[in-house]
Chains A and B, each alone.
Chain A
Amino acid sequence: MRGMRRISLQFCLRALGGTALVLSLGAGIWLYAQEASTPVFKSKVDLVVLSFTVTDNKGKYVNGLKPGDFKVYEDGIPEKLSTFSEGDRPAMQILEDGSMRPLLPTAPEAMRVAAKSSESNDAFVGTNVFILFDTSNFMYRGFVYAEDAIADFVRGLDKADSVAVYTFSRNLSRASTLTSDRSNAIVGLRKAVAGDDTALYNGLLLTLRDAAKVPGRKVVIVFSNGPDNASMVAPDDVRAVAEDEGIPIYVISTNDVNKDPISSSVFRRISQRTGGKAYWAKTWQKQVEAFESIREDLGNSYTVTYYPAPNPNEGFRRIDIQIVSDTGKHYRVRSRPGYRPRAF
């Protein structure tokens, strides 16, 4: 299941030749200018990107739902959806009458992604996957098997996805920055060096900061055996960043669930609260299965965006996604529970 991210957009509409809509700030969606003829004005809008999965009572993914099948609430206030997408399909803009049309492909953000990758020319097609690989002393024994499992996962990613491979011990290392070229990512992965202390949550925080700068959907996959002996930030502070940025955290622990209860409970908490999942996979086979499950999750999620309705709450805003249909009452929606509006 995907998470959600909130994006600051600054629209600057200019009446130049009948069409002009300029989007500023780091990440955003390029919408058709519906008010192209209006005079120049500026406004700051917070766009929320929300990813989630829907499963039935047997735990199977429910596909094929439409925007009209959902209602999204923030603190109980209904939200009007702007875009919708399912799986790795391109995002669609939801018009006033509920119909959908594709997003404008020439948006600067989309072009930025296109410049980065020849395969993906739409910022909201596919997922940006950040793999965070623990190469500290704690991972020493399983290091090479872990590399193999990660390499397999990278090879098996959907074509539309981009992937970054980061490693960490005491410090973070950007082994391979975000790329749609699988072999580049694997070259980066194979250059990882083992050893040193473990600052898992420091590394995770920096990875989230990088991921937050990238437009579109993204997830972070942590591959670690758990213990942390060098971080200076608490997991829940890091989790809050992921929650606010709408980045689900998936964790594959190479430890037994009961062997390190502290790590296990942290992994469970940060993945659940961000809309990700935690797996305990001591063997190579289990690790491959965990990656397979994550891949499935990525391919079966829905992503919607909206501009939040006025809400005086500057603290944590609770998000509720409801399925409108009767059958939907038996469905389970997995999403992150909410976010805090950006304070600065």
Chain B
Amino acid sequence: MRVRYPAALTFCAAAVLSAFADQTATLDHIQKLELAGDSAGAREAFQRALKTSPEDAELLGGYAALLERYRNPGAREEYRRAAVRWQATGQSQKAQAEARRAILLDLIDGDRDAARKDLAAYREYGGTGVTIPAPAAAAERPSEVVYIPGPMRSFARMAAISPDADPATVLPALARNVVTNGYQASRSNDELEETEYLKLVHRYVSQAWELDQLAGPDKVIKVPACESTQTNDLLRVLGYRMRGGCGSEVVLETVNASRAFLTTDSGFPLAELEQALRTDKPFSYDYHPTAVPVLYSAAYWVGAKEKNSFLDAFLGDPALCRFYLGMSKLDPETAAAMKQHTPALKLRSYASVLDFFGGNFEIRDGKAVIPGGERSAAMWGELVGVSPDKGADFFEKLLIRDDGWLASLYDALSRIQGPVQDYLTQPAHMKRFYEAVRGKITTPGPARPVFRSNADMMLLTTRLRLEPDGKPHIPGGLDVWKQVFIHNPHNRYDQKLSKAAPGWKDGDDVIEALFALCRKPVDNEPLKMFMALSDIDRNREKPLEPATVERLTSVWNTYSAQYTMFNDAPGVSDKTILAWLDAAENLDRIKDNLLRQDAIGEMQGLTGLWQIFCRQGSIPAANADQALASLVAPFATLKSNRELFDAGRSGLNLLATSAGAASGPMQDRMLNLIAGGAHLQPSDARSSLIEQEQRIFEAQKLLTPDLIFELADNLERVSKGEKLNAKLAARMAARVTDIQLPRNSMSGTEKNSMAFGFWVDKHIEEERKVNFRALIDKAGKDPEKLKDIRGLLAPSLRDTIVGYNYLHYAPPGAEILITNPLFVRGHDFIGMSGANHSWRNTELYGSGWPSNAGGRLVGSLAGLPYALAEAEQNFLVPTQTQALIWGDLVPQMLLTATAPRFWSVAPEQVHWVGMHMRNGESLLAEASVDEAARSKVFAAINRAASPYRASAVISDLKTGDVKQALDQLTPSELYSISISLAPTDDCPIAKEIDRYRKAAPSLVSDEAISRTWGTPKPTLANSYAPELLNLRTFPTLMGYSSRIMAESWESNQLYWADLADETGVRPEELNVLVPQWTEKVVERIFASHLEDWPALLKSLRSVGDDVRNSAGKPDSTERAGSEE
């Protein structure tokens, strides 16, 4: 209704002003709710406001943007409504902006039809510059296929390929399996012979062709009735026969074991066939062959003559498989150029180099894209022998140059960016470092083994640190490293380097030496030292003193595994580090093995707890140094059990006090601290974690410190004439004597075969036989002897302290800790006789009965999180038969879920990740519809992903397949794309990101987000502190298998943060949910090979979908309903 009168106009203006003020207040209120993490409250506030003002375009647009930020599917509709309202009020630019958002969201959701309609509306509002690209024409897609007999799932089972693998990935996956698992050295000669795996694949294919024949031209296996010739024919091929005549008693039983095995192992529906025969019903089974795309054409690989028997030729030729595998990693443009330039036979000769290092080859417009760009082009040309301008020729020469050394350098340098890449690709550096790594004799090259052997070079180039002046950071300075190489312990390093070391002039010389050692197939000790010490320096305000570095390198062999401790608390002083080393060396001098292992265990247990409390912020950074110094001080002079007990007791008190838990029973204080902090707010998550801790503590039959201390105090008083508290002693004895040693019930053969540590056995036996009454009687009235008795409590206190570490890192399920009551007590700090494991990384000892003696960990506590996860991984139950679970990937995933805690995560930090994910999606959609936006986004994609995948993503964007493009990117890549691009003004999410940046700068800084949503990288970064390094996912590497790949996989935490944001999960709930979600992810992985991280991504998304479904998406129609 229009108001025409002045009075009314005044009223109207006042009303508008008032409405405007109301609206502003509403929006402010909503923003505050959202900032505080109350997205549901913000949504409800919008809904209430829209009930009052349903036509308010500003509110509608704001509501749409809110829904978009939380991935609510109703956002599109709200944008459309807002656009209509803006247009109705004559503000067409705003209408265009809203309609444009709707188009982007349509494409993100893969709804091309809706996008077309919204585009029409957008144009109707006067919008320009947006076009929805035409979908990929059929001709652009690979047309040639090869046929595999029978259904894909059967072949996949036999060939160990995920049955839901994309058809285009089947042949590369098969090729990889043939290369890595298909052949072995013959026992009789130098020839390769087929493994059982490949023999079975061959036999299966042969049986499948027979069934294909039976299936006839319709490709359906049909058995019309039990008594039919088809029945006999089919059963003969399957290797079964009928027992009993046709009818309800018929049973299928094996007659030809070899055929029957293939039948059942390939998943032929035998039970269904049997059921059909029993009921005399027809049986039919679709046996159409499976068409899988082949790169280029079958003839390219096997020649025109053999192209009809491609599969047989493929399976029978590992070199061909490797060639196929290598070519499948190239992006189409690069592959096309190389194929055209280099004959297939020649490429095939260098298939191993192509396979390992070709993935980063990139030809654009005929030129090679090279690390270092223009500045390094001439040097690349000199090293390769061909200018990068001649792309295909350049890469051909790179392949054949030197057994793969230069290609491996190219690969390593392609994976990094920024100042380190600049430094390493300076022409002079590049030449020096290449010559160092190549050496004089190039054979064997880094592509020779089944796994890449240039792991150390990749670590060096990835983790090298530069000083602000662009020079490499050399921990402790040049002289320390000269000494390291000159000293050359046991001649483990290169003699030539030792001779050259005295003449070194600067850091470049050290880096050159490290490159030179990267070519050695042996343990690269100096590189590991260099990386570990660089990592310690990385977060310190003041780098380590040369003397400290010298000491740390001199005792590297013994104590290096412990250095992560100093990395997790960068405030530790040089003095304290040296004091720690002094204490450790003092313990090593203890002759009594029992006392020594208890003392080492207790000190490691205490410092392990200190490390945990520092990492989670319970011990403030400012107190960390003092706390550690005080903790280790008693161990520097420790000589007796009594002193050990006192050190343990004072240590626990010190830790609790330093971490802000000054009062209450020690057991409660420690359980709280281990769960995440002294003063956690009561919550279901907190209760759940503490209950789990208590359950494990009980299962391990550990003694609470309070009980131990009470008894110790009582013993102290006994020395002054008081009586022993018999009840207390009996309580303790009852707990300890209940523990059964594993040997008790075993047969003689088992006892002889088992490998339970001798000193572990002694440790437990000593605990069991303590009899305080007898000891007090024996001590008579000698007060010193009476005081010494409390030292006998030291082994139990050690177990409790070590047990607290186990509790903190307990993996989801914790089956071993719940089932094996000796797991904590059985921790072997000494190891096998003759090999001192006390300070080495934690190892899982053996596997299988009786060699593992029921499972135990050996070594120090340094690698406890990984070892516990490793021990637990076989208790996970894959949801699909034959699913591959990585031996090295799963433990890292589990520890990533358990070591970081989320108690201090702010809602802003959760939403920050969610917004960046939405922003990343939006940027990609923009790049798809707006050519002007493309170049920057494409460059960001190229930085984040390998050329092959970047090219696939870009290709999808060019055809408007935004959803498909997004599916190919990992969460960490999407996040990194969003972070790397400056926000655009017209994007509401970018504006919101900006608002958060201003409202909570300290919470959403790169450093804070890295700490909050990063992953622990004990191998790659020598630290358990979570960190985001924005790395490209590594391949499997010789010496590390998938462990580094798993550490470089940074997507899980970011994905969980995004999911929590979307589903309204509170940060503290993540402490319980992330381990549960991760367990499910692992159980659902169905990978085809060790580098199949897309299978991991698929599993991650599948769990995310379940969480979304069970959470129930907030429904935007709530408002629409209320309107109606």
Q: Which residues of A are in contact with B by a Cβ distance under 8 Å?
A: 141, 143-145, 147-148, 151-152, 155, 167, 170-175, 183, 186-187, 189-195, 197-202, 205-206, 209, 227-238, 241, 261-262, 265-266, 269, 314-315, 343-344
Contact = CB atoms under 8 A, between A and B. Distances in A.
A175 B265 contact: no
Interface stretch (B384-392, B845-853, B907-915): B845-853
Contact of A144 (B264, B271, B734, B850): B264
A145 B271 contact: no
Interface string B23-51: 00000000000000000000000000000
Contacts of B885: 170-171
B820 A202 contact: no
B820 A266 contact: no
B369 interface: no
A238 B264 contact: no
Contacts of B698: 343-344
A266 B746 CA distance: 8
A145 B258 CA distance: 11
Interface of B: 157, 239, 251-254, 257, 260-261, 264-265, 267, 269-272, 274-275, 694-695, 698-699, 734, 738, 740, 742, 745-747, 749-750, 753, 815-816, 819-821, 844, 847-850, 852-855, 871-872, 874-878, 881-882, 885
Contacts of A148: 252-254
Contacts of A145: 254, 257
B815 A265 contact: no
Given A233-B815, A269-B745, A171 B847 contact: no
Contacts of B849: 200-201, 228, 231, 234-235, 262, 266
B271 A187 contact: yes
Given A231-B852, A344-B695, A241 B847 contact: no
Given A170-B885, A187-B271, A227-B848, 13 more contacts: A144-B260, A183-B271, A186-B274, A190-B264, A191-B881, A228-B849, A230-B848, A231-B849, A231-B874, A235-B849, A261-B749, A266-B750, A344-B695
Contacts of A195: 882
A262 B850 contact: yes
Contact of A186 (B254, B260, B265, B271): B271
B875 to A, nearest CB: 6
B156 to A, nearest CB: 11
B877 A171 contact: yes
Contact of B251 (A151, A170, A174, A192): A151
A195 B377 CA distance: 51
A233 B854 contact: yes
28 contacts: A143-B264, A147-B264, A171-B876, A173-B881, A186-B274, A190-B270, A191-B267, A193-B267, A194-B261, A195-B882, A198-B848, A201-B849, A227-B848, A230-B874, A231-B847, A231-B852, A232-B852, A233-B854, A234-B820, A234-B849, A234-B855, A235-B849, A261-B749, A262-B747, A262-B849, A266-B849, A315-B738, A344-B695
B881 A175 contact: yes
Given A232-B855, A234-B742, A262-B850, A206 B261 contact: no
Q: A174, A190, A199, A200 — which one has the most chain B CB atoms within 10 A of its CB?
A: A190
Contacts of A183: 271, 275
A11 B313 CA distance: 70
Nearest to B849: A228
A269 B745 CA distance: 9
Contacts of B694: 344
A318 B844 CA distance: 35
A227 B849 CA distance: 8
B819 A238 contact: yes
A167 B274 CA distance: 21
A231 B753 contact: no
A234 B853 contact: yes
Nearest to A343: B698
B848 A231 contact: yes
A174 B753 contact: no
Nearest to A166: B877
Contacts of A234: 742, 820, 849-850, 852-855
A186 B742 CA distance: 38
B265 A194 contact: yes
Nearest to A263: B849
Contacts of A144: 239, 254, 257, 260-261, 264
A173 B264 contact: no
Contacts of A174: 877
Contacts of A229: 847-848
Q: Which of A194, A202, A234 has the most CB of B within 10 A?
A: A234
A192 B268 CA distance: 11
Q: Identify the interface centre among B257, B698, B853: most chain A CB within 10 Å of its CB.
A: B257
Contacts of A192: 264, 881
A255 to B, nearest CB: 14
A237 B820 contact: yes
A285 B420 CA distance: 70
Given A145-B254, A205-B819, A229-B848, A199 B874 contact: yes
Contacts of B271: 183, 186-187, 189-190
Nearest to B872: A232
B877 A172 contact: yes
A7 to B, nearest CB: 19
Nearest to A184: B271
A189 to B, nearest CB: 8
Contacts of A202: 815, 874-875
B856 to A, nearest CB: 9
Contacts of A186: 271, 274
Contacts of A170: 874, 885
- Central interface residue in A173, A198, A238, by most chain B CB within 10 Å: A173
A173 B878 contact: yes
Contacts of B854: 232-234, 236-237
Contacts of A265: 746-747, 749-750
Contacts of A230: 847-848, 874
Contacts of B749: 261-262, 265
A170 B883 CA distance: 11
Contact of B819 (A167, A228, A237, A262): A237
A233 B820 contact: yes
A145 to B, nearest CB: 6
